[in-house]
């Protein structure tokens, strides 16, 4: 993939599709799938700068799993793959431990 670096306080996110069923096997109806959306941060800008030019780095970083509103960001296509570009303040929060869940039970 071509290296894409967002400017300022923008981030590049790959949407992660949630499973259609819950752990108990219950099918989730479309109406309940509205929001929030989940994604993986692919790259981040350098940060927001104030009037004096001081740059404040972003709270999110590459590899973070984030939640964002259904209509957040702008959809783009890079090398045939779909991504979203959004400002950091459109992110609702960071999911911690999402990728490491399978190793949590192995510590005894």
Highest mean pLDDT, choosing among 21-25, 30-34, 89-93:
89-93
Distances (CA, A) of 97 to 42, 94, 100, 102: 17, 10, 5, 9
Tokens of 44: 């981040």
Beta bridge pairs of residue 94: 66
Q: Please report the pLDDT score of residue 70 as a whole number.
A: 87
Instruction: Say whether pLDDT at 19 is over 60.
Output: no
Q: Please report the pLDDT score of residue 96 as a whole number.
A: 86
Weakest mean pLDDT among 18-22, 33-37, 48-52, 58-62: 18-22
CATH of domain 1-18+33-94: 2.30.33.40
In sign, the C-alpha dihedral spanning 76, 81, 5, 13 is: positive
Mean per-residue pLDDT for 95-107?
54
Q: Please report the pLDDT score of residue 88 as a whole number.
A: 95
Tokens of 43: 């790259």
Calculate the average pLDDT of the chain.
Answer: 82
Q: How many helices (H) and strands (E) does the chain have?
A: 0, 8
Q: How confident is the model at residue 30 (pLDDT cuts 50, 70, 90)?
A: low
């Amino acid at each position: 993939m071509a290296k894409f670096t967002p400017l300022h306080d923008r981030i590049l996110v790959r949407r992660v599709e949630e499973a259609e069923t819950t752990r108990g096997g219950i099918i989730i109806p479309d109406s309940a799938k509205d929001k929030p959306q989940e994604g993986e941060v692919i790259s981040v800008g350098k940060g927001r700068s104030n009037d004096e030019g001081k740059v404040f780095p972003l709270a999110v970083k590459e590899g973070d799993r984030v939640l964002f509103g259904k209509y957040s960001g702008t959809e783009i296509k890079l090398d045939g793959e779909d991504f979203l570009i959004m400002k950091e303040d459109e992110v609702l929060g960071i999911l911690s431990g999402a990728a490491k869940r399978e190793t949590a039970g192995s510590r005894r």
